[in-house]
């Protein structure tokens, strides 16, 4: 199935799934599980959440990952600091990329905004180059908006 069609199915499914819980950990855990199982190329899907000035590992699916990332560091910290989505076709060309999994080759990070404030990021890795493009950016920003709507506090 084309990537876009997968996203079109994913968004209402995400909304339905998340309406079952008002617990932030359950919400983020189920969101990462649903997104990861929808796309076989996604090797790691998860959240980093702002805690005491740093981005701390939250619910995720995939191999164990770095626990804490400074704002402004790596793809996650840069996306958070700039308040914008970052698509990296080849992580080896991104200055300061943090390699939690040495097999990761491409990545997308989408800021998680709640009531106008950025509270964390959604991070997705792939073991293949250039997995993410403008289609992923568009739909993952919509997915993150749905996730934020279902978050109480994190």
- Contacting residues toward ligand SME, per CB under 6 A: 44, 65-66, 69, 74-76, 97-98, 100, 104, 107, 123, 125
Nearer to ligand SME, 8 or 41 (CB): 41
Give just the sign of the alpha carbon dihedral 37, 39, 42, 48. Answer: negative
Nearer to ligand SME, 24 or 74 (CB): 74
Least distance between ligand SME and beta carbon 84 (Å): 14
Q: How many residues does the chain have?
A: 154
Least distance between ligand SME and beta carbon 44 (Å): 5
Tokens standing for residue 44: 């790691």
Give the residue nearest to ligand SME (CB): 74
Q: Are strands 86-88 and 106-114 parallel, antiparallel or unpaired?
A: antiparallel
Give the span between the Cα atoms of 23 and 150, in whole angstroms: 9
Nearer to ligand SME, 38 or 43 (CB): 43
Give the span between the Cα atoms of 32 and 144, in whole angstroms: 11
């Amino acid at each position: 199935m084309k990537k876009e069609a997968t996203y079109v199915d994913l968004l209402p499914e995400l909304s339905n799934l998340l309406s079952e819980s008002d617990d932030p950990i359950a919400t983020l855990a189920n969101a990462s599980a649903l997104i990861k199982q929808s796309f076989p190329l996604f090797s790691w899907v998860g959240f980093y959440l702002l805690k005491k000035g740093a981005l701390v590992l939250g619910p995720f699916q995939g191999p164990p990952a770095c626990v804490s990332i400074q704002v402004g560091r790596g793809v996650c910290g840069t996306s958070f600091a700039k308040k914008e989505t970052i698509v990296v076709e080849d992580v080896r060309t991104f200055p300061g990329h943090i390699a939690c999994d040495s097999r990761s080759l491409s990545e997308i990070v989408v800021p998680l905004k709640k009531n106008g404030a950025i509270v964390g990021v959604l991070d997705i890795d792939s073991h293949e180059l250039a997995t993410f493009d403008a289609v992923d950016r568009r739909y993952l920003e919509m997915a993150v908006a749905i996730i934020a709507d279902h978050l109480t506090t994190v």
